Amino acid sequence: MNQRIAHISIVVNDYDEAIDFYTKKLNFRLLEDTVLNEDKRWVLVAPFGEGHCSLLLAKASNEEQKSRVGNQTGGRVFLFLYTDNFERDYQNLINHKISIVREPVKEAWGTVAVFKDLYGNQWDLIEPICA
């Protein structure tokens, strides 16, 4: 059996501001931006690297979806961004004035810090210790 998660939807207020944040501040790449109709686009972004999962930036289209922007997991960490260079990527967060929720901590399994994206979703930035 061969299965994988291809995309994770993240509800956003605006396609272009979300693209700007993920590509210019988190240094993700824009994989696709296809207009589906006058209100809807298929927008995929992903970090550089060998991962197979991308984010589908889904613009909130009703009040219930708008209420979820920035809080898709009830305040828990939502996404986990692995890095091969914690210091480089943490400094990038600082340089772009991205909100740091928890300062870096060295754990037995690696180094981690928690940050918020432009809408308030919490992310772990993790550099695992390789065995």
Check residue 35 and report its DSSP letter: E
- Residue among 9, 20, 29, 31 at smallest CA distance from 78: 9
Report the pLDDT value the prediction gives residue 49, as an integer from 0 to 100: 85
Report the pLDDT value the prediction gives residue 50, as an integer from 0 to 100: 79
Report the pLDDT value the prediction gives residue 119, as an integer from 0 to 100: 96
Q: Report the distance separating Cα 92 and Cα 125, nearest Å.
A: 11
Full domain range(s) for residue 126? 70-131
Q: Is 37 exposed, middle or buried (0-12, 13-18, 19+ CB in 10 A)?
A: exposed
pTM equals 0.92
Q: Report the distance separating Cα 58 and Cα 45, nearest Å.
A: 11
- Give per-residue pLDDT as tens, 68-115: 999 999 889 999 999 999 999 999 999 999 999 999 999 999 999 999
Calculate the CA 22 to chain-centre distance.
Answer: 7
What's the domain count of the chain?
2
- Please enumerate in sequence order all residues whose Cβ is within 8 A of that of 96, keeping only pairs 6 or more positions apart, or say none: 25
Q: Which helix (H) or strand (E) holds 2?
A: none
Is pLDDT above 90 for 2? Answer: no
Query: Contact, 46 vs 33, CB < 8 A?
Result: no
Of 45, 68, 91, which closes a domain?
Answer: 68
Please tell me whether residues 64 and 85 are part of one structural domain.
no
Average pLDDT over the chain, rounded to whole?
Answer: 95
Please tell me whether residues 1 and 60 are part of one structural domain.
yes
Please tell me whether residues 52 and 81 are part of one structural domain.
no
The proportion of the chain whose per-residue pLDDT surpasses 70, expressed as a percent, equals 99
Query: Contact, 27 vs 74, CB < 8 A?
Result: no
Q: Report the distance separating Cα 48 and Cα 60, nearest Å.
A: 26
